[in-house]
């Protein structure tokens, strides 16, 4: 009886191993993803986000298979300070787009703790209707401390979503507390959400974020806040006209919307379509994506070099020694960094 039970357990373990191999087969996973299988998409995103070397190899193969089928979407970045209602807006706007026949993917990047690297990952629970729709895909990912709240592999996840047939990609970022350059460099249109009645609206929004925005939305424009929202919209529009013209030739807009009442969403979408049409007419749309690819190549090289540098055994050992000397004031930061670089180059 014991031998028989052991044999059954062995068979079960072997079946589990075989199933895992099939699920992690890059070609099979890519084929299922291209067929629009959301489970395959979720599995592929998990592989992309994994820090395991074995998963990275499989993820790279999946990307290689699906890359020719990506790029056929409109990529929309959405940012705003905490309390601006980003998740509520995405829920309402996403549902609006679905009614237009769009397939909507949301890559919602949540804050990560700098100490424990934990993440709230609450966006999906705040988008119940959108999450339940068959033509939507929502993936909350921890920012892991990356600049602008963008997960390390968000750009690759965009490609996966596009290959799976999603024609509108919404990327929600942590907020305006950090540089949003990374977001701007992976989307076609950049939306900034603001609210009135929370103090000095213009002072509360960093100039750098305003200059990057293609459209500024004054959200929560309803009820007692409507008149204040209208005043804020006018102030923001005047401020936008003071900025230097963008390379695209687009003049940034300030719009009103209410995510709760789903008002203003049609105007937002019409403005986005106008933006897309104008940029494609001037060929800036394609040029911008090509420049983004070049920028991300540089970022990827820097990331890999930095990771290799930090993981080098000799660097790890010497770094601890030099850190103590810098802290004690015995060595300058520039000299310590130069020693580490020279050590790295000599190995």
Residue 199 pLDDT greater than 80, yes or no: no
What is the per-residue pLDDT across 49-98, written as a single tens digit (0 to 9) for each?
Answer: 887 888 989 999 999 999 999 999 999 999 887 788 888 999 999 999 99
Residue 106 binned pLDDT confidence (cut-offs 50, 70, 90):
very high
Spatial CA neighbour of 182 closest among 268, 273, 298, 73: 298
Phi/psi at 209 (5° precision): -70, -40
What is the per-residue pLDDT across 118-164, written as a single tens digit (0 to 9) for each?
Answer: 344 445 567 889 999 999 999 986 655 554 445 568 899 999 999 99
CB neighbour list of residue 161: distance below 8 Å, 6 or more residues apart: 41, 73, 105, 107, 137, 169
- Whether the CB-CB separation of 90 and 56 falls below 8 Å is answered with no
Max Cα-Cα span within the chain: 83
Most confident stretch, 98-112, 177-191, 295-309, 324-338: 324-338
Residue 320 pLDDT greater than 80, yes or no: yes
- Quote the CA–CA distance of 198 and 205 in Å, as a whole number: 11
CB neighbour list of residue 193: distance below 8 Å, 6 or more residues apart: 78, 79, 80, 84, 85, 86, 89, 216, 217, 219
Q: Residue 285 has which token pair?
A: 């749309």
Spatial CA neighbour of 192 closest among 226, 237, 154: 237
Q: What is the residue-wise DSSP string for 237-289?
A: HHHHHHSPPPTT----EEEE-BTTTTBSHHHHHHHHHHHHHHHHHTTHHHHHH
Please state the pTM of the whole predicted model.
Answer: 0.84
Residue 113 pLDDT greater than 50, yes or no: no
What is the per-residue pLDDT across 201-260, written as a single tens digit (0 to 9) for each?
Answer: 554 466 677 888 999 999 999 999 999 999 999 988 988 888 888 888 899 999 999 999
């Amino acid at each position: 009886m014991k031998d028989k039970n052991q044999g059954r357990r062995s068979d079960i373990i072997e079946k589990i191993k075989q199933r895992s191999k099939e699920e992690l087969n890059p070609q099979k996973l890519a084929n299922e993803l291209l067929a629009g299988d959301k489970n395959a998409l979720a599995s592929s995103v998990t592989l992309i986000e994994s820090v395991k070397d074995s998963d990275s190899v499989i993820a790279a193969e999946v990307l290689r298979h699906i890359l020719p089928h990506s790029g056929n979407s409109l990529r929309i970045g959405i940012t705003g300070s905490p309390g601006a209602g980003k998740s509520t807006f995405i829920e309402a706007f996403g549902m609006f787009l679905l009614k237009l026949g769009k397939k909507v993917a949301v890559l919602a990047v949540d804050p990560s703790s700098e100490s424990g690297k934990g993440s709230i990952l609450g966006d999906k629970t705040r988008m119940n209707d959108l999450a339940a729709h068959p033509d939507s895909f929502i993936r909350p990912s921890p920012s892991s401390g990356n600049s602008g709240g963008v997960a390390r592999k968000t750009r690759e996840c965009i490609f996966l979503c596009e290959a799976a047939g999603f024609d509108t990609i919404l990327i929600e970022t942590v907020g305006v507390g950090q540089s949003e350059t990374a977001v701007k460099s992976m989307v076609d249109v950049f939306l900034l959400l603001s609210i009135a009645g929370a103090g000095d609206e213009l002072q509360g929004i960093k100039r750098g974020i305003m200059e990057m925005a293609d459209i500024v939305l004054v959200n929560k424009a309803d009820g007692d806040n409507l008149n204040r929202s209208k005043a804020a919209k006018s102030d923001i529009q005047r401020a936008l006209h003071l900025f230097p013209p963008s390379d695209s030739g687009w003049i940034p807009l300030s719009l009103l919307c209410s995510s709760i009442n789903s008002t203003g969403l049609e105007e937002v979408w019409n403005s986005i379509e106008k933006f897309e049409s104008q940029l494609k007419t001037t060929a800036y749309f394609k040029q911008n994506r090509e420049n983004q690819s070049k920028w991300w190549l540089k970022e990827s090289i820097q990331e890999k070099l930095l990771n290799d540098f930090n993981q080098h055994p000799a660097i790890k050992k010497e770094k601890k020694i030099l850190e103590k000397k810098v802290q004690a004031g015995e060595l300058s930061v520039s000299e310590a960094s130069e020693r580490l670089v020279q050590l790295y180059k000599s190995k």
